[in-house]
Structure 1
Amino acid sequence: MAHRVQIIGSYLSPYVRKVLVFLDLKGIPYEVDPIVPFFGDERFSRISPVRRIPVLIDDQTTLADSSVICQYLEDRYREPRLYPADIIDRACARWLEEYADSRMGEVFIWRLFNQVAIKPTVWGEQTDKATLEKTLQEDMPQVLDYLEVQVPAEGFIFGSVSIADISIACFFRNATFARFQLDAARWPGTAAFVERVLRLESFEKLKPIEERLRRTPLMQHRAALMEMGVPITQDTYGTAKPRRGVMRID
Protein backbone atom coordinates (compact mmCIF):
# COMPACT_ATOMS: atom_id res chain seq x y z
CA MET A 1 0.00 0.00 0.00
CA ALA A 2 1.19 3.51 -0.81
CA HIS A 3 2.36 5.72 2.03
CA ARG A 4 -0.44 7.98 3.34
CA VAL A 5 0.08 11.56 2.28
CA GLN A 6 -1.17 14.81 3.74
CA ILE A 7 -3.01 17.35 1.62
CA ILE A 8 -3.30 20.90 2.92
CA GLY A 9 -6.35 22.63 1.50
CA SER A 10 -10.12 22.89 1.41
CA TYR A 11 -12.33 20.26 -0.21
CA LEU A 12 -14.15 23.16 -1.88
CA SER A 13 -11.11 24.18 -3.94
CA PRO A 14 -11.03 22.87 -7.55
CA TYR A 15 -7.25 22.52 -7.29
CA VAL A 16 -7.53 20.43 -4.13
CA ARG A 17 -10.36 18.44 -5.73
CA LYS A 18 -8.09 17.66 -8.69
CA VAL A 19 -5.40 16.23 -6.44
CA LEU A 20 -7.86 14.25 -4.29
CA VAL A 21 -9.43 12.66 -7.36
CA PHE A 22 -5.97 11.91 -8.72
CA LEU A 23 -4.95 10.29 -5.42
CA ASP A 24 -8.12 8.20 -5.30
CA LEU A 25 -7.71 6.97 -8.87
CA LYS A 26 -4.13 5.99 -8.00
CA GLY A 27 -5.28 4.21 -4.84
CA ILE A 28 -3.10 6.39 -2.60
CA PRO A 29 -4.44 6.93 0.95
CA TYR A 30 -4.46 10.50 2.23
CA GLU A 31 -5.59 12.77 5.04
CA VAL A 32 -6.55 16.42 4.72
CA ASP A 33 -5.93 19.61 6.68
CA PRO A 34 -9.04 21.39 5.32
CA ILE A 35 -7.90 25.01 5.42
CA VAL A 36 -8.91 27.83 3.14
CA PRO A 37 -5.60 29.45 2.06
CA PHE A 38 -6.59 32.86 3.44
CA PHE A 39 -6.56 31.28 6.90
CA GLY A 40 -3.08 29.73 6.69
CA ASP A 41 -0.49 30.53 9.38
CA GLU A 42 3.19 31.45 8.94
CA ARG A 43 4.15 27.79 8.60
CA PHE A 44 1.76 27.63 5.67
CA SER A 45 3.56 30.60 4.08
CA ARG A 46 6.83 28.65 4.27
CA ILE A 47 5.50 25.57 2.49
CA SER A 48 3.32 27.55 0.05
CA PRO A 49 5.15 30.85 -0.63
CA VAL A 50 2.28 32.19 -2.77
CA ARG A 51 -0.23 31.07 -0.08
CA ARG A 52 -2.29 28.87 -2.35
CA ILE A 53 -3.59 25.34 -2.07
CA PRO A 54 -3.11 22.43 -2.31
CA VAL A 55 0.14 21.44 -0.63
CA LEU A 56 1.26 17.80 -0.49
CA ILE A 57 3.41 16.42 2.31
CA ASP A 58 4.59 12.81 2.17
CA ASP A 59 7.50 10.70 3.37
CA GLN A 60 9.85 12.19 0.78
CA THR A 61 8.93 15.76 -0.02
CA THR A 62 6.67 18.79 0.39
CA LEU A 63 5.19 20.26 -2.79
CA ALA A 64 2.85 23.13 -3.62
CA ASP A 65 0.79 23.56 -6.83
CA SER A 66 -1.72 20.99 -8.04
CA SER A 67 -0.02 20.36 -11.39
CA VAL A 68 3.38 19.80 -9.79
CA ILE A 69 1.77 17.46 -7.26
CA CYS A 70 -0.06 15.40 -9.89
CA GLN A 71 3.04 15.04 -12.05
CA TYR A 72 5.03 13.92 -9.00
CA LEU A 73 2.37 11.34 -8.12
CA GLU A 74 2.31 10.09 -11.71
CA ASP A 75 6.08 9.64 -11.70
CA ARG A 76 6.22 7.97 -8.30
CA TYR A 77 3.12 5.76 -8.61
CA ARG A 78 3.17 4.52 -12.18
CA GLU A 79 -0.18 2.71 -12.32
CA PRO A 80 -2.80 3.45 -13.33
CA ARG A 81 -1.50 5.94 -15.85
CA LEU A 82 -3.31 9.27 -15.67
CA TYR A 83 -1.19 11.06 -18.25
CA PRO A 84 -1.31 9.68 -21.83
CA ALA A 85 1.62 7.47 -22.88
CA ASP A 86 1.90 9.03 -26.34
CA ILE A 87 4.23 12.04 -26.25
CA ILE A 88 1.93 14.29 -28.29
CA ASP A 89 -1.18 13.29 -26.37
CA ARG A 90 0.70 13.82 -23.11
CA ALA A 91 1.71 17.33 -24.18
CA CYS A 92 -1.88 18.10 -25.19
CA ALA A 93 -3.16 16.79 -21.86
CA ARG A 94 -0.73 19.04 -20.02
CA TRP A 95 -1.92 21.98 -22.09
CA LEU A 96 -5.56 21.29 -21.20
CA GLU A 97 -4.55 20.96 -17.55
CA GLU A 98 -2.79 24.32 -17.80
CA TYR A 99 -5.77 25.89 -19.56
CA ALA A 100 -8.03 24.66 -16.77
CA ASP A 101 -5.71 25.83 -14.01
CA SER A 102 -5.09 29.26 -15.52
CA ARG A 103 -7.92 30.44 -17.78
CA MET A 104 -10.72 28.44 -16.18
CA GLY A 105 -9.30 29.27 -12.77
CA GLU A 106 -9.38 32.97 -13.60
CA VAL A 107 -12.95 32.88 -14.90
CA PHE A 108 -14.63 30.20 -12.76
CA ILE A 109 -12.88 30.99 -9.49
CA TRP A 110 -11.51 34.54 -9.37
CA ARG A 111 -14.28 36.14 -11.43
CA LEU A 112 -17.30 33.96 -10.60
CA PHE A 113 -16.81 32.00 -7.36
CA ASN A 114 -14.81 34.82 -5.79
CA GLN A 115 -17.57 37.32 -6.46
CA VAL A 116 -20.42 35.08 -5.35
CA ALA A 117 -18.84 33.20 -2.43
CA ILE A 118 -15.33 34.23 -1.34
CA LYS A 119 -15.72 38.01 -1.14
CA PRO A 120 -18.91 38.01 0.94
CA THR A 121 -18.01 34.98 3.10
CA VAL A 122 -14.32 35.61 3.84
CA TRP A 123 -13.95 39.37 3.52
CA GLY A 124 -17.48 40.63 4.12
CA GLU A 125 -17.38 42.50 0.81
CA GLN A 126 -20.19 43.00 -1.65
CA THR A 127 -20.28 41.28 -5.02
CA ASP A 128 -19.10 43.46 -7.88
CA LYS A 129 -22.14 43.16 -10.11
CA ALA A 130 -20.39 44.60 -13.18
CA THR A 131 -17.57 42.07 -12.93
CA LEU A 132 -20.04 39.25 -12.41
CA GLU A 133 -22.14 40.30 -15.40
CA LYS A 134 -19.10 40.50 -17.69
CA THR A 135 -17.98 37.10 -16.47
CA LEU A 136 -21.33 35.48 -17.26
CA GLN A 137 -21.93 37.25 -20.56
CA GLU A 138 -18.40 37.31 -22.04
CA ASP A 139 -15.78 35.26 -20.22
CA MET A 140 -17.72 32.08 -19.50
CA PRO A 141 -19.05 31.73 -23.07
CA GLN A 142 -15.52 32.20 -24.44
CA VAL A 143 -14.22 29.38 -22.25
CA LEU A 144 -17.15 27.11 -23.05
CA ASP A 145 -16.85 27.75 -26.79
CA TYR A 146 -13.24 26.56 -26.60
CA LEU A 147 -14.09 23.47 -24.55
CA GLU A 148 -16.89 22.53 -26.92
CA VAL A 149 -14.37 21.77 -29.69
CA GLN A 150 -11.92 20.02 -27.35
CA VAL A 151 -14.10 17.43 -25.64
CA PRO A 152 -15.15 14.15 -27.29
CA ALA A 153 -18.70 13.16 -28.15
CA GLU A 154 -18.27 10.04 -26.03
CA GLY A 155 -15.85 8.84 -23.37
CA PHE A 156 -12.76 10.74 -22.32
CA ILE A 157 -10.46 13.08 -24.20
CA PHE A 158 -7.62 10.59 -24.67
CA GLY A 159 -9.61 7.37 -24.52
CA SER A 160 -9.18 6.58 -20.84
CA VAL A 161 -9.58 9.05 -17.99
CA SER A 162 -6.62 11.42 -17.72
CA ILE A 163 -5.42 14.56 -16.02
CA ALA A 164 -7.10 16.58 -18.79
CA ASP A 165 -10.59 15.26 -17.99
CA ILE A 166 -10.07 15.64 -14.25
CA SER A 167 -8.70 19.18 -14.47
CA ILE A 168 -11.53 20.51 -16.63
CA ALA A 169 -14.38 18.87 -14.71
CA CYS A 170 -13.15 20.11 -11.31
CA PHE A 171 -14.10 23.70 -12.06
CA PHE A 172 -17.71 22.92 -12.90
CA ARG A 173 -18.37 21.86 -9.31
CA ASN A 174 -17.45 25.37 -8.17
CA ALA A 175 -19.54 26.87 -10.96
CA THR A 176 -22.48 24.93 -9.54
CA PHE A 177 -21.68 26.26 -6.06
CA ALA A 178 -21.90 29.76 -7.57
CA ARG A 179 -25.35 28.92 -9.02
CA PHE A 180 -24.10 28.78 -12.61
CA GLN A 181 -26.01 26.40 -14.89
CA LEU A 182 -24.33 25.15 -18.05
CA ASP A 183 -26.60 25.63 -21.05
CA ALA A 184 -26.74 22.12 -22.53
CA ALA A 185 -28.53 23.38 -25.65
CA ARG A 186 -25.72 25.82 -26.47
CA TRP A 187 -22.81 23.62 -25.35
CA PRO A 188 -24.14 20.04 -25.59
CA GLY A 189 -20.76 18.36 -25.93
CA THR A 190 -19.30 20.10 -22.89
CA ALA A 191 -22.40 19.48 -20.79
CA ALA A 192 -22.39 15.75 -21.58
CA PHE A 193 -18.63 15.48 -21.07
CA VAL A 194 -18.70 17.20 -17.67
CA GLU A 195 -21.58 14.98 -16.54
CA ARG A 196 -19.64 11.84 -17.58
CA VAL A 197 -16.49 12.86 -15.75
CA LEU A 198 -18.25 13.98 -12.58
CA ARG A 199 -20.00 10.60 -12.44
CA LEU A 200 -16.65 8.91 -11.82
CA GLU A 201 -16.62 7.29 -8.39
CA SER A 202 -13.61 9.37 -7.36
CA PHE A 203 -15.67 12.54 -7.88
CA GLU A 204 -18.90 11.10 -6.50
CA LYS A 205 -17.39 10.17 -3.14
CA LEU A 206 -16.31 13.80 -2.62
CA LYS A 207 -19.77 15.27 -3.21
CA PRO A 208 -21.28 14.54 0.24
CA ILE A 209 -18.22 16.10 1.87
CA GLU A 210 -18.40 19.18 -0.34
CA GLU A 211 -22.12 19.61 0.24
CA ARG A 212 -21.67 19.36 4.01
CA LEU A 213 -18.86 21.92 4.03
CA ARG A 214 -20.83 24.35 1.86
CA ARG A 215 -23.42 24.50 4.64
CA THR A 216 -20.85 24.74 7.44
CA PRO A 217 -19.06 27.90 8.68
CA LEU A 218 -15.35 27.84 7.78
CA MET A 219 -14.16 27.60 11.38
CA GLN A 220 -16.25 24.46 11.86
CA HIS A 221 -14.98 22.51 8.85
CA ARG A 222 -12.57 20.31 10.80
CA ALA A 223 -15.25 19.37 13.31
CA ALA A 224 -17.74 18.59 10.52
CA LEU A 225 -15.23 16.34 8.77
CA MET A 226 -14.39 14.53 11.99
CA GLU A 227 -18.09 13.93 12.54
CA MET A 228 -18.31 12.43 9.04
CA GLY A 229 -15.35 10.15 9.69
CA VAL A 230 -13.19 11.80 7.02
CA PRO A 231 -9.42 11.29 7.59
CA ILE A 232 -7.97 14.63 8.69
CA THR A 233 -4.57 15.60 10.01
CA GLN A 234 -3.92 15.86 13.74
CA ASP A 235 -2.29 19.26 13.32
CA THR A 236 -3.53 22.21 11.27
CA TYR A 237 -1.92 25.10 9.45
CA GLY A 238 -5.13 27.07 9.89
CA THR A 239 -5.76 30.27 11.81
CA ALA A 240 -8.93 32.07 12.90
CA LYS A 241 -8.12 35.35 11.15
CA PRO A 242 -7.82 35.64 7.36
CA ARG A 243 -5.04 37.35 5.45
CA ARG A 244 -4.78 37.99 1.73
CA GLY A 245 -2.36 36.08 -0.47
CA VAL A 246 0.62 37.62 -2.22
CA MET A 247 -0.91 37.00 -5.68
CA ARG A 248 -4.15 38.83 -5.13
CA ILE A 249 -6.71 38.83 -7.94
CA ASP A 250 -9.88 40.88 -7.51
Structure 2
Amino acid sequence: MSPCLTLIGNYVSPYVRKVLACLELKGLDYQIDPITPFIGDDRFTQLSPLRRIPVLIDGGLVLNDSSVICQYLEDRWAQPSLYPIDVADRAKARWVEEYCDTHLAGALIWKLFYQKAIRRHFFQEEPDEALVAHACAVEIPAALDQLERWAPVDGYLFGSLSIADISVASYFRTASFVRYMIDADRWPRTAALVARVQALPPFQKLAKLEEVVLRVPFAQHRDALAAAGAPLTADTMATLTPRKGVPRFA
Protein backbone atom coordinates (compact mmCIF):
# COMPACT_ATOMS: atom_id res chain seq x y z
CA MET A 1 0.00 0.00 0.00
CA SER A 2 1.26 3.48 -0.84
CA PRO A 3 1.85 6.01 1.94
CA CYS A 4 -0.94 8.52 2.47
CA LEU A 5 -0.13 11.73 0.63
CA THR A 6 -1.50 15.15 1.53
CA LEU A 7 -2.75 17.51 -1.16
CA ILE A 8 -3.60 21.15 -0.48
CA GLY A 9 -5.96 22.72 -2.96
CA ASN A 10 -9.57 23.16 -3.97
CA TYR A 11 -11.55 20.74 -6.12
CA VAL A 12 -12.63 23.42 -8.61
CA SER A 13 -9.04 24.33 -9.55
CA PRO A 14 -7.86 22.81 -12.86
CA TYR A 15 -4.32 22.58 -11.49
CA VAL A 16 -5.56 20.62 -8.48
CA ARG A 17 -7.87 18.49 -10.62
CA LYS A 18 -4.93 17.44 -12.77
CA VAL A 19 -3.09 16.14 -9.69
CA LEU A 20 -6.22 14.54 -8.22
CA ALA A 21 -6.87 12.72 -11.50
CA CYS A 22 -3.32 11.32 -11.43
CA LEU A 23 -3.71 10.23 -7.80
CA GLU A 24 -7.02 8.53 -8.59
CA LEU A 25 -5.80 6.86 -11.77
CA LYS A 26 -2.73 5.52 -9.97
CA GLY A 27 -4.83 4.30 -7.03
CA LEU A 28 -2.82 6.24 -4.44
CA ASP A 29 -4.05 6.99 -0.93
CA TYR A 30 -4.32 10.69 -0.17
CA GLN A 31 -6.00 13.23 2.03
CA ILE A 32 -6.89 16.76 0.98
CA ASP A 33 -7.14 20.16 2.62
CA PRO A 34 -9.53 21.73 0.08
CA ILE A 35 -8.61 25.38 0.47
CA THR A 36 -8.44 27.98 -2.24
CA PRO A 37 -5.13 29.85 -2.45
CA PHE A 38 -6.97 33.02 -1.50
CA ILE A 39 -7.86 31.86 2.03
CA GLY A 40 -4.71 30.03 3.10
CA ASP A 41 -3.11 31.04 6.40
CA ASP A 42 0.55 31.76 7.14
CA ARG A 43 1.34 28.03 7.26
CA PHE A 44 0.16 27.81 3.68
CA THR A 45 2.44 30.69 2.69
CA GLN A 46 5.41 28.81 4.18
CA LEU A 47 4.57 25.76 2.08
CA SER A 48 3.66 27.74 -1.04
CA PRO A 49 5.66 31.00 -1.20
CA LEU A 50 3.67 32.17 -4.25
CA ARG A 51 0.40 31.23 -2.46
CA ARG A 52 -0.64 28.91 -5.27
CA ILE A 53 -2.26 25.51 -5.32
CA PRO A 54 -1.75 22.60 -5.48
CA VAL A 55 0.81 21.65 -2.86
CA LEU A 56 1.74 18.00 -2.31
CA ILE A 57 3.22 16.75 0.96
CA ASP A 58 4.85 13.32 1.01
CA GLY A 59 6.36 12.84 4.45
CA GLY A 60 8.99 15.55 4.76
CA LEU A 61 8.87 16.44 1.06
CA VAL A 62 6.83 19.48 -0.04
CA LEU A 63 6.23 20.05 -3.74
CA ASN A 64 4.64 22.99 -5.54
CA ASP A 65 3.33 23.27 -9.11
CA SER A 66 0.97 20.75 -10.69
CA SER A 67 3.40 19.68 -13.43
CA VAL A 68 6.18 19.05 -10.92
CA ILE A 69 3.80 17.07 -8.72
CA CYS A 70 2.41 14.95 -11.55
CA GLN A 71 5.91 14.12 -12.78
CA TYR A 72 6.91 13.15 -9.22
CA LEU A 73 3.92 10.82 -8.93
CA GLU A 74 4.86 9.24 -12.25
CA ASP A 75 8.50 8.79 -11.27
CA ARG A 76 7.67 7.30 -7.88
CA TRP A 77 4.65 5.20 -8.87
CA ALA A 78 5.26 4.35 -12.50
CA GLN A 79 2.22 2.14 -13.03
CA PRO A 80 -0.18 2.76 -14.50
CA SER A 81 1.86 5.15 -16.58
CA LEU A 82 0.28 8.49 -17.43
CA TYR A 83 3.08 9.59 -19.76
CA PRO A 84 3.76 8.09 -23.21
CA ILE A 85 6.47 5.43 -23.39
CA ASP A 86 7.96 6.79 -26.62
CA VAL A 87 10.50 9.50 -25.81
CA ALA A 88 9.30 11.86 -28.54
CA ASP A 89 5.64 11.42 -27.61
CA ARG A 90 6.48 11.93 -23.95
CA ALA A 91 8.11 15.25 -24.78
CA LYS A 92 5.11 16.24 -26.91
CA ALA A 93 2.71 15.32 -24.10
CA ARG A 94 4.64 17.52 -21.70
CA TRP A 95 4.39 20.34 -24.23
CA VAL A 96 0.61 19.94 -24.45
CA GLU A 97 0.49 20.03 -20.64
CA GLU A 98 2.59 23.21 -20.64
CA TYR A 99 0.38 24.75 -23.33
CA CYS A 100 -2.65 24.08 -21.14
CA ASP A 101 -1.02 25.31 -17.94
CA THR A 102 0.04 28.60 -19.50
CA HIS A 103 -1.71 29.69 -22.69
CA LEU A 104 -5.02 27.85 -22.28
CA ALA A 105 -5.18 28.70 -18.58
CA GLY A 106 -4.46 32.33 -19.37
CA ALA A 107 -7.63 32.52 -21.45
CA LEU A 108 -9.98 30.04 -19.79
CA ILE A 109 -9.06 30.50 -16.16
CA TRP A 110 -7.52 33.92 -15.58
CA LYS A 111 -9.48 35.88 -18.19
CA LEU A 112 -12.78 33.99 -17.87
CA PHE A 113 -13.27 31.91 -14.70
CA TYR A 114 -11.26 34.21 -12.42
CA GLN A 115 -13.02 37.30 -13.74
CA LYS A 116 -16.55 35.89 -13.61
CA ALA A 117 -16.32 33.77 -10.46
CA ILE A 118 -13.36 34.54 -8.20
CA ARG A 119 -13.31 38.33 -8.48
CA ARG A 120 -17.03 38.55 -7.88
CA HIS A 121 -17.50 35.97 -5.11
CA PHE A 122 -14.19 36.18 -3.23
CA PHE A 123 -13.14 39.80 -3.59
CA GLN A 124 -16.50 41.50 -4.27
CA GLU A 125 -15.03 43.09 -7.39
CA GLU A 126 -16.70 43.51 -10.74
CA PRO A 127 -15.19 41.48 -13.59
CA ASP A 128 -13.32 43.16 -16.40
CA GLU A 129 -15.97 42.59 -19.06
CA ALA A 130 -13.74 43.80 -21.88
CA LEU A 131 -11.11 41.23 -20.89
CA VAL A 132 -13.75 38.49 -20.76
CA ALA A 133 -15.19 39.48 -24.14
CA HIS A 134 -11.79 39.47 -25.84
CA ALA A 135 -10.94 36.08 -24.35
CA CYS A 136 -14.22 34.58 -25.57
CA ALA A 137 -14.06 36.16 -29.01
CA VAL A 138 -10.36 35.85 -29.81
CA GLU A 139 -8.09 33.99 -27.39
CA ILE A 140 -10.17 30.92 -26.55
CA PRO A 141 -11.19 30.25 -30.18
CA ALA A 142 -7.52 30.53 -31.24
CA ALA A 143 -6.52 28.04 -28.55
CA LEU A 144 -9.30 25.69 -29.62
CA ASP A 145 -8.13 25.93 -33.23
CA GLN A 146 -4.74 24.71 -32.07
CA LEU A 147 -6.18 21.91 -29.93
CA GLU A 148 -8.36 20.81 -32.84
CA ARG A 149 -5.23 20.34 -34.96
CA TRP A 150 -3.77 18.08 -32.25
CA ALA A 151 -6.91 16.18 -31.24
CA PRO A 152 -7.44 12.65 -32.62
CA VAL A 153 -10.58 11.47 -34.36
CA ASP A 154 -11.07 9.03 -31.50
CA GLY A 155 -9.09 7.77 -28.52
CA TYR A 156 -6.46 9.95 -26.87
CA LEU A 157 -3.76 12.36 -28.00
CA PHE A 158 -0.90 9.85 -27.77
CA GLY A 159 -2.70 6.53 -28.02
CA SER A 160 -3.22 5.78 -24.33
CA LEU A 161 -4.59 8.23 -21.78
CA SER A 162 -1.83 10.61 -20.73
CA ILE A 163 -1.11 13.79 -18.85
CA ALA A 164 -1.87 15.68 -22.07
CA ASP A 165 -5.49 14.49 -22.18
CA ILE A 166 -5.91 15.02 -18.44
CA SER A 167 -4.65 18.59 -18.77
CA VAL A 168 -6.94 19.55 -21.64
CA ALA A 169 -10.01 18.12 -19.93
CA SER A 170 -9.18 19.73 -16.58
CA TYR A 171 -9.21 23.28 -17.90
CA PHE A 172 -12.44 22.96 -19.81
CA ARG A 173 -14.09 21.42 -16.73
CA THR A 174 -13.36 24.55 -14.69
CA ALA A 175 -14.47 26.78 -17.57
CA SER A 176 -17.82 24.96 -17.55
CA PHE A 177 -18.46 26.37 -14.05
CA VAL A 178 -18.98 29.77 -15.69
CA ARG A 179 -20.99 28.12 -18.48
CA TYR A 180 -18.34 27.98 -21.15
CA MET A 181 -18.87 24.99 -23.44
CA ILE A 182 -16.90 23.95 -26.51
CA ASP A 183 -18.83 24.40 -29.74
CA ALA A 184 -18.83 20.78 -30.96
CA ASP A 185 -19.79 21.84 -34.49
CA ARG A 186 -16.75 24.09 -34.81
CA TRP A 187 -14.26 21.97 -32.80
CA PRO A 188 -15.66 18.42 -32.93
CA ARG A 189 -12.46 16.52 -32.15
CA THR A 190 -11.59 18.64 -29.14
CA ALA A 191 -15.13 18.51 -27.79
CA ALA A 192 -15.18 14.71 -28.15
CA LEU A 193 -11.76 14.33 -26.51
CA VAL A 194 -12.79 16.43 -23.52
CA ALA A 195 -16.05 14.49 -23.19
CA ARG A 196 -14.21 11.13 -23.29
CA VAL A 197 -11.78 12.12 -20.57
CA GLN A 198 -14.41 13.73 -18.37
CA ALA A 199 -16.54 10.57 -18.64
CA LEU A 200 -13.79 8.44 -17.04
CA PRO A 201 -14.61 7.18 -13.51
CA PRO A 202 -11.95 9.30 -11.73
CA PHE A 203 -13.22 12.48 -13.37
CA GLN A 204 -16.82 11.53 -12.58
CA LYS A 205 -15.87 10.89 -8.95
CA LEU A 206 -14.18 14.28 -8.73
CA ALA A 207 -17.09 15.98 -10.50
CA LYS A 208 -19.45 14.98 -7.69
CA LEU A 209 -17.20 16.64 -5.13
CA GLU A 210 -16.74 19.69 -7.35
CA GLU A 211 -20.51 20.10 -7.50
CA VAL A 212 -20.67 19.98 -3.70
CA VAL A 213 -18.17 22.87 -3.52
CA LEU A 214 -20.10 24.90 -6.09
CA ARG A 215 -23.37 24.63 -4.17
CA VAL A 216 -22.25 26.22 -0.89
CA PRO A 217 -20.34 29.33 0.28
CA PHE A 218 -16.60 28.75 0.71
CA ALA A 219 -16.93 28.92 4.52
CA GLN A 220 -19.07 25.77 4.30
CA HIS A 221 -16.91 23.83 1.82
CA ARG A 222 -15.22 21.64 4.39
CA ASP A 223 -18.39 20.53 6.17
CA ALA A 224 -20.16 19.85 2.88
CA LEU A 225 -17.23 17.84 1.52
CA ALA A 226 -16.96 15.83 4.75
CA ALA A 227 -20.63 14.93 4.42
CA ALA A 228 -19.98 13.84 0.81
CA GLY A 229 -17.16 11.51 1.88
CA ALA A 230 -14.14 13.49 0.69
CA PRO A 231 -10.84 12.29 2.25
CA LEU A 232 -10.21 15.43 4.30
CA THR A 233 -7.22 16.24 6.47
CA ALA A 234 -7.83 16.49 10.22
CA ASP A 235 -6.80 20.16 10.20
CA THR A 236 -7.11 22.96 7.67
CA MET A 237 -5.00 25.92 6.62
CA ALA A 238 -8.08 27.86 5.53
CA THR A 239 -9.06 31.23 6.95
CA LEU A 240 -12.19 33.28 6.32
CA THR A 241 -10.34 36.36 5.03
CA PRO A 242 -9.29 36.15 1.39
CA ARG A 243 -6.06 37.70 0.19
CA LYS A 244 -4.46 37.64 -3.22
CA GLY A 245 -1.29 35.78 -4.06
CA VAL A 246 1.36 36.50 -6.66
CA PRO A 247 -0.48 36.82 -10.01
CA ARG A 248 0.33 34.29 -12.74
CA PHE A 249 -0.08 36.78 -15.55
CA ALA A 250 0.60 40.47 -15.89
Q: TM above 0.5, one fold?
A: yes
SS class of match (2:158): coil
Alignment-derived partner of residue 2 in structure 2: 2
Q: Any residues of structure 2 matched to 1:23-38 within 5 Å, and which?
A: 23-38=23-38
Partner of 1:92: 92
**Cα deviations across residues 154-211 of structure 1 (Å, max 9, x unaligned)?**
1011111000000111011111101112111111111111111111111011111111
Q: C-alpha distance in 2, partners of 1:225/1:37?
A: 18
Q: C-alpha separation between the residues in 2 aligned to 1:73 and 1:60?
A: 15
Q: CA RMSD in A?
A: 1.0
Secondary structure of residue in 1 paired with 2:135: helix
- 2:229 maps to what in 1? 229
After superposition, what is the alpha-carbon deviation per residue over 1:77-103, rounded to whole angstroms, capped at 9, x for unaligned? 010111111110010000000001111
Match of 1:197 in 2: 197
Q: 1:248 to 1:147 in 2, by over 3 A?
A: closer
Matched residue, 1:72 = 72
Secondary structure of 1:32's partner? strand
Q: Which amino acid aligns with 2:245?
A: G
Any residues of structure 2 matched to 1:166-205 within 5 Å, and which?
166-205=166-205
Measured in 2, the distance between the counterparts of 1:108 and 1:16 equals: 15
Structure 1: distance between partners of 2:152 and 2:70: 23
- AA in 2 matched with 1:194: V
* Residue aligned with 1:6, SS: strand
Aligned partner of 1:159 in structure 2 is 159
Does 2:232 align with 1:214? no
What residue in structure 2 maps to residue 43 of structure 1? 43
Task: Give unpaired runs (5+ residues) of structure 2.
Answer: none
> Following TM superposition, by how much is the alpha carbon of 1:60 offset from its aligned partner in structure 2, in angstroms?
4.6
Query: What corresponds to 2:103 in structure 1?
Result: 103
How many Å separate the matches in 1 of 2:204 and 2:21? 10
The list of structure 1 runs, each at least 4 consecutive aligned residues, that deviate by more than 3 angstroms after superposition, is: none
- Counterpart of 2:98, as a letter, is E
Q: For the residues of structure 2 that align with 1:40 and 1:151, how far apart are their CA atoms?
A: 37
Change (3 A) 1:80 1:149: same
SS class of match (2:236)? coil
Percent of residue pairs bearing the same amino acid type = 52
Opposite residue 234 of structure 1, the aligned amino acid is A
1:17-53 Cα distance to aligned partner (Å, 9 max, x none):
0000000111101111010001111111111111100
Query: Are 2:86 and 1:81 equivalent residues in the alignment?
Result: no
Code of the residue aligned with 1:48 in structure 2: it is S
| Equivalent position of 1:143 in the other structure | 143
> Which residue identity lines up with residue 28 of structure 1 in the other structure?
L
Distance 1:102 1:243 in 2: 23
Q: Tell me the alpha carbon deviations over residues 134-161 of structure 1, each in whole angstroms, 9 at most, x when there is no partner.
A: 0110011011000000111110111110
Q: Which amino acid aligns with 2:50?
A: V
Deviation at 1:228, TM superposition (A): 1.1
- Displacement after TM superposition at 1:248 (Å): 5.6
Give the residue type in structure 1 aligned to 2:159: G
Whole-angstrom CA distance in 2 between matches of 1:14 and 1:167: 8
C-alpha separation in 2, matches of 1:125 and 1:241: 15
Query: Could you tell me how far 1:59 is from its partner in structure 2?
Result: 2.2
Instruction: Tell me which amino acid in the other structure corresponds to 2:80.
Output: P
Shift of 1:105: 1.1
